[in-house]
Structure 1
Amino acid sequence: MRSNSGKPLGIYVHIPFCKSKCEYCDFYSLGGSRDRRTTDQYLQALADHIRETGRLAPDYTVDTVYFGGGTPSFFGAENLEKVLDELQKRFHFGADPEITLEANPDSVTPQGLKRLVRAGFNRISIGVQSDQDDMLKRLGRPHTYEQARMAVVRAREAGFANLSLDLMFGLPNQTLTGWRDTLENVLRLKPEHMSCYALKVEPNTPLWEYRDCANLPNDDVQADMYLAASEILQDHGYEHYEISNFAKPGFRSRHNLKYWTGGEYLGFGPCAASDFAGKRFTIEPDLRAYVEGIAHHGSVLSECETIPPRERAGEYVMLRSRIVSGLDAQEYERSYLLPFAPLQQLLERFAGHGLAAQSGSRWYLTPRGWLVSNRIILALQDAQEKSTPLAKKR
């Protein structure tokens, strides 16, 4: 079903399968081979869930779809096409939806990529992470840099004109000079979008167990790496539009911006989150429980809550601080009936230290501000909590 009207809606589909688990990964994913029965059961669960949920969104128009994981490309082009086809049958789609696939370099083929483009996928995000094969091996990545380069070539040949690459910094033994060289090397692939993430050492991962002897760069070096990425990518014509994301003009991730701007989205698959019709809910991170719950019309949620306006206001501050469009004083007061003045006083102080800047009624954090964004956001939310609501206009 297709329509050009209705409230915009994003859709996220979680594919929990991976060839292998990376040393640092704490996302819900299942490494190793899978049997056909598991695949078929998951496809059926997704189809049933999509069909049931589509009935709840007749007044919405899907403008973004994002297949994340796990490794969606490891799931296979045929299976991904089936899921997208089910979505297109059960939801109203706009005329120009952004449909993104996450992919690992080792699990894409020329034939599969062409099939995905024919099915409607028009954006691909390839997990490169590093251009050093020894580093990739140490991180548990199942590919080489040459495979990453060839994945880009094959994606272009298949027809993908919107390509994003993921890189990580703060890696074991990585230096600032090495990180700069990595950026310059990867930029030769000419992606439309780049995501640069600092390595996070999370509990319950293999890396956590040997973190103290992994020779990870300290916080000061990581900060220098972050600022170097911002400088180099902007010099190459990329907009630094979100804390970790850079895009050529016209190629910002429309789906991810839904999260940062408070848009509505629905998630399918274990651990997928939704923010829809005033409620936020998350699916239990358990593949078997998801398959059985959908099959027997049981609950598959780990949590579901209605978000009160005051909490939404706090989320506005947190999420908008992540993007270059920032916080708009007029929009804030109109939406939440809270005074912006207490926040502005803090932002003016941060601006004096080069951490924030103003454009009209809009305030945003600078790259240096994003480095300490957690502290800034906490300060803003504390001031917000102490503020007195504005009187409603009669």
Structure 2
Amino acid sequence: MRKREGRPVFGKKKETQPKAPTGDSLGIYIHIPFCRSRCDYCDFYSVAGREDRMDSYQKALLAHIKETAPLAQGIPVDTVYFGGGTPSFFGDKRLRELLGAIQKQFQLTQDAEITLEANPDSVDVRALRRLRKAGFNRLSLGMQSACPAELESVHRPHTVQQVDQAVAAARKAKFKNLSLDLIYGLPGQTMDSWKATVEHALSLIPQHLSCYGLKVEEGTRLAARVAAGEQLPDDDAQADLYLWTVGRLERAGLPQYEISNFAKPGMESRHNLRYWLTRPYIGFGPGAHSDFGGRRYSFVRDLDGYIDGVLRGGSLIDSEELIPRRERSGEYLMLRLRTAQGIEEWEYRGTYFMDFAPLEARLEQFCDKGWAERTAEGRWRLTPQGFLLSNQLIGDLLERQEQSELSDLLPRARQQFTKRKGE
């Protein structure tokens, strides 16, 4: 996608502003890129050793929030998510100021879910209490592993003991919605060590668990290590870890609701569900993405560039595109099939005016192989075995969707040609 100069989404020209969506609520994402240190596997936009820019970044975020809020006037905001980076490393005073600005500028609902990502080494009881009183009501801790050697292998900045202390601090601060992040497939990890990690996490009684398979992202230190010959658990080993996890967490009362996410009933991440259910959201910060008013856009992945773009009117937009409703049918398949909710024929037909039959025929074949299932409510979803092949299976369905659309367009094209020829 071609990079656009200036800020077309937030410019003064009326035609470049996104049209406010109607009949839906809105989510807000705040990206805090600062970290104490960078983990070997991390591909998110983050910076270490740039604490000198925190105050300028705060000023830019506050200005950007104030500038953007009028575009969402009258739209209820029911989820706010502070991600990173390490938001807790940014300091509770700045975080409270940012949330206060959102509460003032946007129309937050009384039951809004307000999440803070944190590393176990960067929180304490006093800071968490202040954050809780300011309105944060969901905490997501990056635990990753309960094995010290595995944490050290990817240069995580915390210890297992600090995880336990952070959870205890969260409980004392009266956080009732706690999520823990775990990673399977770490260097040196075995089935026994992964089981120990999951059991340790369950002993902390979280309301939500995110369990991610380790991916070697290009340009990371982990990618360089693998290129140099380091061995990681292979795909088959990761599949075994994953399938065991799905069963164990189901028995523990945290059923799977998305490929990588598990929660007690009613405690699913409402903000993350926005992405998978294609609901609108606005992001702030370098590398942050938005989907608002039928337009998708993202900001530059550069701390200084973002600050300069907001405060001095420099280049801010990295990419921007208008997404017609019909083209979102592919997103419906890609994102909904990540969830346990899955897809439904008349939901698809009624929203995108497309034939579901070719997809259903293929889903029935997937069902025969144990990769998909039809629920009692008539919805189609992937099984845990199907989730392991989700990229391949969803790609197959997207091809059939495209073929169906082309076959639908051809008769109409012929009709138009015949009509023009007879004029």
What TM-score do you get using the length of structure 2 for normalisation? 0.89
| Alpha-carbon distance change, 338 to 238 in structure 1, aligned in 2, over 3 angstroms | same
Report whether the alignment pairs 1:231 with 2:242.
Answer: no
Percent identity between matched residues is: 52
Q: What is the letter of the counterpart of residue 125 of structure 2?
A: P
Which deviates the most, 307-316 or 139-148? 307-316
Partner residue of 2:421? none
Question: Are residues 1:256 and 2:272 paired?
Answer: yes
Larger relative contact order (C-alpha < 8 A, sep ≥ 6)? 2
Secondary structure (helix, strand or coil) at the match of 1:141 reads coil
Aligned 1:269-348 pairs, distance under 5 A = 269-348=285-364
Correspondence 1:157 to 2:172:
yes
Supply the RMSD in Å over aligned alpha carbons: 1.5
Q: Which residue of 1 aligns with 2:135?
A: 120
Q: What are the ranges of 5 or more consecutive residues in structure 2 without an aligned counterpart?
A: 1-21, 413-423
Q: Quote the residue 1:382 is aligned against.
A: 399
Whole-angstrom distance in 2 between the partners of 1:144 and 1:350: 43
1:62-73 residue pairs with structure 2 within 5 A?
Answer: 62-73=77-88
Kept in 2, the 8 Å contact 1:16–1:28? The answer is: yes
Contact 1:7/1:59 (<8 A) preserved: no
CA pair 32-299 structure 1, distance change in 2 beyond 3 A: closer
Measure the CA separation in 1 of the matches of 2:231 and 2:237: 12
Contact 1:197/1:244 (<8 A) preserved: yes
Measured in 1, the distance between the counterparts of 2:169 and 2:312 equals 41
Establish whether residue 44 from structure 1 lines up as the match of residue 59 from structure 2. Answer: yes
1:350 matched to 2:366? The reply is yes
Worse-matched range after superposition: 296-305 or 330-339: 296-305
2:32 equivalent among 11, 15, 21: 15
Distance 1:361 1:299, change over 3 A: farther
SS of 1:210 mapped into structure 2: helix
> Is the partner of 2:233 in helix, strand or coil?
coil
> C-alpha offsets along residues 85-134 of structure 1, whole Å, 9 cap, x if unaligned?
01111100111000000000000011100010000000000000010112
Partner of 1:372: 389
Q: Is the 8 A contact 2:138 2:176 kept in 1?
A: yes
User: Are 2:102 and 1:87 aligned?
Assistant: yes
Q: Counterpart in 2 of 1:210? A: 225
Q: How does 1:135-146 map to 2 (within 5 A)?
A: 135-146=150-161
Structure 1 spans left out of the alignment, 5+ residues:
none
Residue number in structure 2 paired with 1:34: 51
Q: Deviations over 1:53-82 (max 9, x none)?
A: 001011311000000000000001111001
Give the superposition deviation at 1:137. 1.3
Distance 1:137 1:378 in 2: 36
How does 1:91-102 map onto structure 2 within 5 Å? Answer: 91-102=106-117
Hey, what's the Cα distance between the residues in 2 that align with 1:157 and 1:277? 41
Q: Give the distance between the partners of 2:230 and 2:98, measured in 1 at CA.
A: 40
From 264, 267, 274, give the equivalent of 2:283.
267
Matched to 1:244, the amino acid is S
Q: Which residue in the other structure is 2:236 paired with?
A: 220
Shift of 1:138: 1.5
Residue type of the alignment partner of 1:267: G
Query: Would you say the 8 A contact 2:147–2:193 is kept in 1?
Result: no
2:112 aligned counterpart, secondary structure: strand
In structure 1, the residue corresponding to 2:391 is in which secondary structure?
helix
Q: Deviations over 1:117-164 (max 9, x none)?
A: 000000000000010112111211000000011100000100100000
How far residue 7 of structure 1 moved from its aligned partner, in angstroms, is 2.9
Residues 19 and 33 of structure 1 are in contact (CA less than 8 Å); yes or no, is this contact kept in structure 2? no
2:51 aligned counterpart, secondary structure: coil
- Tell me the SS of whatever aligns to 2:72: coil
**In 2, Cα distance between equivalents of 1:299 and 1:174:** 44
1:6–1:61 Cα contact (<8 Å) kept: no
> Could you tell me how far apart the structure 2 residues matched to 1:272 and 1:28 are?
9
What SS does structure 1 have at the residue aligned with 2:139? strand
Between 381-390 and 351-360, the greater mean CA deviation after superposition:
381-390
Alpha-carbon contact 1:6-1:59 (below 8 Å) kept = no
Q: Distance in 2 between matches of 1:362 and 1:118?
A: 41
User: Does the aligned pair in 1 maintain the 2:150–2:189 contact within 8 Å?
Assistant: no
In structure 2, what is the Cα distance between the partners aligned to 1:313 and 1:32?
Answer: 43
Q: d(CA) in 1 for partners of 2:342 and 2:315?
A: 37
SS in 2 for 1:64: strand
**What whole-Å deviation, never above 9, does each CA across 1:28-72 have from its counterpart, x for those lacking one?**
10012512xx22111110011000100101131100000000000
Contact in 2 for aligned 1:330/1:361 (Cα 8 Å): no
Measure how far apart 1:6 and its partner are. 6.4
The answer on whether the counterparts of 1:104 and 1:128 sit within 8 Å (CA) in structure 2 is: yes
Q: Equivalents in 2 of 1:181, 1:231: separation in Å?
A: 15
Q: After the TM superposition, list the runs of 4 or more consecutive aligned residues in structure 1 that deviate by more than 3 angstroms.
A: 388-392
Q: Calculate the TM-score normalised by the size of structure 1.
A: 0.95
The answer to whether the 8 A contact 1:73-1:107 is kept is yes
- Residue 387 of structure 1 aligns to a residue whose secondary structure is helix
